[in-house]
């Protein structure tokens, strides 16, 4: 396969990743999968996934769980073979209201220009708990007391 068509840069990320998520329905990653190397390693605070097939299966599971999902990107920057972006992802599950989660992603590019490593950073519980009356404040107070 000629990977020349799938070399990634910060400008391409800004265009392609926003197309992935929409407010009219389920997310669709099919247009960005060619930018991922077959040996991709994905990691976030919940899981570590190795291999493109496993990564695509994880994306399908997220799609099936969400009623809707939207992502707004900010501060997409590139330094050498690393692209970093900040984001706000708004998800809605079966019976729950829209829940915003704030985070950042580091994409490391393989020498062929495709993503070989993706690391997502976010505080899933803090952002979800913020939407629960009274509980969000208690969670933040607990975190401040025990973790500074």
Q: Is it the case that residue 1 has pLDDT exceeding 50?
A: no
Average pLDDT, the chain: 83
Q: Is it the case that residue 76 has pLDDT exceeding 60?
A: yes
- For 34-40, the CB contacts below 8 A with 24+ separation are 34/5, 34/6, 34/114, 35/6, 35/8, 35/114, 35/115, 36/114, 36/115, 37/110, 37/112, 37/114, 37/115, 37/116, 39/116, 40/115, 40/116, 40/117, 40/118
Q: Residue 138 is inside which H or E element, if any?
A: helix 135-147
Q: Is it the case that residue 122 has pLDDT exceeding 70?
A: yes
Please indicate whether residue 68 or residue 12 has the higher confidence score (pLDDT): 12
Please indicate whether residue 45 or residue 107 has the higher confidence score (pLDDT): 107
Domain 3-121 has CATH 3.10.450.50: yes
Q: What does the pLDDT look like over 29-75, one tens digit per residue?
A: 888 999 999 999 999 988 999 999 999 999 888 877 777 777 889 89
């Amino acid at each position: 396969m000629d990977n020349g068509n799938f070399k990634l840069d910060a400008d391409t990320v800004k265009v392609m990743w926003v197309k992935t998520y929409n407010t009219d329905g389920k997310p669709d990653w099919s247009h960005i999968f060619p930018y991922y190397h077959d040996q991709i390693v994905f990691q976030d605070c919940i899981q570590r996934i190795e291999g493109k097939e496993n990564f695509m299966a994880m994306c399908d599971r997220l799609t099936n769980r969400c009623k809707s999902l939207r992502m707004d990107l900010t501060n997409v920057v590139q330094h050498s073979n690393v692209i970093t972006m900040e984001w706000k992802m708004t998800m809605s599950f079966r019976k729950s209201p829209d829940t915003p989660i704030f985070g950042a992603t580091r994409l490391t590019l393989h020498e062929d220009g495709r993503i070989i490593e993706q690391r997502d950073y976010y505080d899933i519980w803090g952002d979800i708990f913020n939407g629960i009356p009274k509980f969000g404040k208690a969670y933040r107070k607990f975190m401040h007391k025990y973790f500074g």
